[in-house]
Structure 1
Amino acid sequence: MRKTYTVQKGTIQDSHIQFDLQENVHDIKWRPAGQMITDSDDMAFIYLMDEEDGYSYVKFPQAVWPLLVETLQSKVNPMLKWNTEQIELVNFQDELQSLIYNIEGNYNYGEVFTTTVEETFAELLSEA
């Protein structure tokens, strides 16, 4: 069964961004899948994590999108932290950037989601 974990907040330290999980996570043996998708109904980006018997979602809700902008500007993959563990979210930059460019002007994601992404990531989209 797929589990969803939500990023509660993030911090910037020496141009490195670290996202913190909201949930208390125990005994997880996962590794970054290097892929992202969207949940346009819930206004979130989702990073996939491989597990022994499937995969889990790490959800990035709209509240942390300003840090997603900073992540793309930093050109460094962010870290994900839970309890005392942390892991690099590989391929995060490329996946998020590809999604944002695909969402721009594409109302298949829903008008509200598309418009919000365009507004939040306007500076990055104007550079393309």
Structure 2
Amino acid sequence: MNKKIIIETAILNDGKLILETEEKINGLIPAEQILVDSDHNSFIYLMENQEDYTYIVLPEQLWSYLKTAIEQEVTVFLKAEHEQIELPNFLDELEYVLSNIKGNSNYGNELVTKVEGFFLSV
């Protein structure tokens, strides 16, 4: 079974978005892909190790950080205690997923409405 790490804290500072967790991230390698969890209104950054995938879950309460990260074009990191891992292509992947959600009822009407209203409104 794939492990889930739910990010509850984020910090925007010095051109970086730091996603903080108390879980161990040692040995995780960024898979450079973002998935969508429509049931929980979350984005998931995929990471892997030698055995399995780990889902870095970014719930709706972090969307304001994600939106600011896109606007400011910052670098995104996952941090746990003394370890920090850069998440390559995070913003490109997020923007790609957001563009796919727009008007796409396959993601569920509730998620589409929320994403369009939050990320895609002018």
Shorter-chain TM-score: which interval?
Answer: over 0.9
Q: Which runs of 4+ in 1 moved over 4 A?
A: none
Counterpart CA distance in 1 for 2:85 and 2:40 is 25
Tell me what 2:16 maps to: 16
After TM superposition, list the pairs within 5 Å mapping 1:42-121 onto structure 2: 42-121=40-119
Long gaps (5+) in structure 2: none
SS of the residue corresponding to residue 78 of structure 1 reads strand
Long gaps (5+) in structure 1: none
SS of the residue corresponding to residue 75 of structure 2 reads coil
Cα deviation, residue 47, structure 1: 0.3
Counterpart CA distance in 2 for 1:19 and 1:25 is 12
Q: Give aligned pairs, total.
A: 122
TM-score for both structures, normalised by structure 1: 0.89
Counterpart CA distance in 2 for 1:91 and 1:72 is 12
Contact 1:44 1:61 in 2 (8 A): yes
- Identical-residue share of aligned pairs (%): 35
- Most deviating of 7-16 and 107-116: 7-16
Cα deviation, residue 63, structure 1: 0.2
Cα deviation, residue 12, structure 1: 1.2
| One-letter code aligned to 1:94 | D
Tell me what 2:24 maps to: 26
Tell me what 2:33 maps to: 35
Contact 1:16 1:74 in 2 (8 A): no
Contact 1:20 1:80 in 2 (8 A): yes
Counterpart CA distance in 2 for 1:39 and 1:57 is 11
- Most deviating of 111-120 and 76-85: 76-85
**Structure 1 residues 27 and 19, CA, compared in 2 at 3 Å: closer, same or farther?**
closer
SS of the residue corresponding to residue 100 of structure 1 reads helix
| One-letter code aligned to 1:102 | N
